[in-house]
Amino acid sequence: MDGKPAKIRERERANHSVACQAEAVQGVDEDCGFDPSSIWNLLSREAALTVSLEQVTLSIMALLRGIFWFALFIVLAFCFVVLFEYGPHDFKNGFQKEFARVKSFVVKQTEKIQKPKKQP
């Protein structure tokens, strides 16, 4: 062929295919036979077939998942505070006391919102 041993030709072929793959990721079209416009055409056709209802459902599910994780965080943080303040031996009584404290705080704050101060 070109006078190079078979191992060298094989190594050059492997290096060329790796270079082609790297160029394909970057969207470069040289000697590799890669046409980036064909992939974009394929992707645009797939995007046109999606239903908008599925996208809304995914966003609602993502919102529900976020609310669930936030609520779980609040509950676990509250339990951590109770454990830190009262210890595991008095967790039940501590939970009840802290819950009453949080409840009274929320009630006071909502009363402030409902009764705005009168302006003279």
Higher-confidence position of 3 and 105: 105
CB 29 within 8 A of CB 40: no
Query: 112 pLDDT exceeds 70?
Result: yes
pTM over 0.75: no
Which residues are CB-contacts of 63 (< 8 A; sequence separation ≥ 6)? none
Mean pLDDT of 54-74: 85
Q: Let me know: does 34 contact 20? Beta carbons within 8 Å.
A: yes
For 31, the token pair is: 């000697």
Residue 22 Cα to chain centre, angstroms: 28
Q: Which residues, in sequence order, are CB contacts of 4 under 8 Å at separation 6+? A: 12
